[in-house]
Amino acid sequence: MPGSILIFAEHFRGQVTEATYEALALGRELAGKLGAPLEAALLGSECRQLAAQLGAASRVLYVNHPVLADVIPESHAEALAQLVQAVSPKAVIVPLSNLSMGVGTLLGACLKAPSVNFCVDLTVIDGSIQAKAILYGGKMEATVTPQGEPLIVGLWPGSRPPDAGRSPDPPASVEDFAVTLSEPRIKLKSYIEPEAGDVDIREQPVLVAVGRGIQSQDNIELAEELAAALGGAVCGSRPVIDQGWLDLSRQVGKSGATVKPKLYLAVGISGAPEHVEGMRGASLIVAVNTDPQAPIFRVAHYGVVADALDLLPALTEAVRKRRAAAHA
């Protein structure tokens, strides 16, 4: 429908992604403010059943094509472009995940439509959409006004709670949309599963996460002691894994795991958006950093400005005492 808010519904291995629900949540809000319908574009191959999960949208446009079985950015963008030209939405929201990286940009380029990347919020001012985007690793927030339609939004994870984008009911209508796609140039050959680590950090109730602030591999022992005292495990941000101090299976963030433990203790982690993406769902977030301006303090519930090397042993000691007293 012209003037609708169109969500690109991302899915992987038979599941609609959390990022899609976040997009639906935001789209729902935006559509409400504009008095416009919310629609979802489901692209794939023989996956019509997934449309039932997109009930937040009033209409799901299902594009079925073998080429779309896996996400190849240019093929998906080509299909979406045809869809958008037919449907004329006011805005298209594409999740910014590794899976869909590039789809939004290519769509914007195909349509010569305004594009906003790193978007964290959308509002309506005088009937037109305004986007808020974070730049420079989270250090700046830009308010962006598009000069044209449709607005292609690359939505950064975490803008809305995914539950607000779920619906118990299926969408009011699911329509098929046919596209003609050129022969894909890029082919997916296979997926390489990550090696199972000794510990699945997604199952842990408590995670002690270490970042660059831990300074050296030796100090990770301090984190391990605390994790053991708390009954959890150690995980890390990308720099720590890249250095080889922790196994890849312990990485939390955009290219790592998304975790939702009861307690996430972020030690020496600055809080770059790529990491925050992986842990913002934790029930209790405590951050320790020597820099009081660290972005992590924006997402944490409790914060301590201190050197990890001083705090970790003290905290481990305190936890052990408490536990011993409780069991006495």
Distance of closest approach, residue 4 Cβ to another protein, in angstroms: 20
SS3 233: strand
First to last CA, the chain: 67
CA distance 246 to 278: 17
Q: Is residue 236 close enough to count as binding another protein by CB under 8 A? A: no
Q: At what angle do helices 220-230 and 308-327 cross, to 10 degrees?
A: 20
Q: Is residue 319 close enough to count as binding another protein by CB under 8 A? A: yes
Based on the number of CB atoms within 10 Å of its own CB, is 60 exposed (0-12), middle (13-18) or buried (19 or more)? buried
Residue 92 or residue 285: which is nearer to another protein going by CB?
A: 285
From residue 313, how far is each of 79, 128, 216, 317 by CA, in Å?
A: 55, 54, 16, 6
Site residues for another protein, 183-212, by CB under 8 A, read 185-194, 205-206
CA distance 63 to 179: 7
38 to 77: interface string for another protein, x by CB under 8 A: --------------------------------x-xxx---
Residue 168 or residue 328: which is nearer to another protein going by CB?
A: 328
Q: Which stretch binds another protein (CB under 8 A): 51-59, 86-94, 159-167, 255-263?
A: 255-263
Q: Is residue 15 close enough to count as binding another protein by CB under 8 A? A: no
Among 118, 156, 177, 264, binds another protein (CB under 8 A): 118
Among 134, 179, 220, 246, binds another protein (CB under 8 A): 134
Q: Is residue 302 close enough to count as binding another protein by CB under 8 A? A: yes
Q: Which residues pair with 16 in a beta bridge?
A: 11
85 to 114: interface string for another protein, x by CB under 8 A: ------------xxx-xx-xxx-xxx-xxx
Contact 209, 250 (CB under 8 A): no
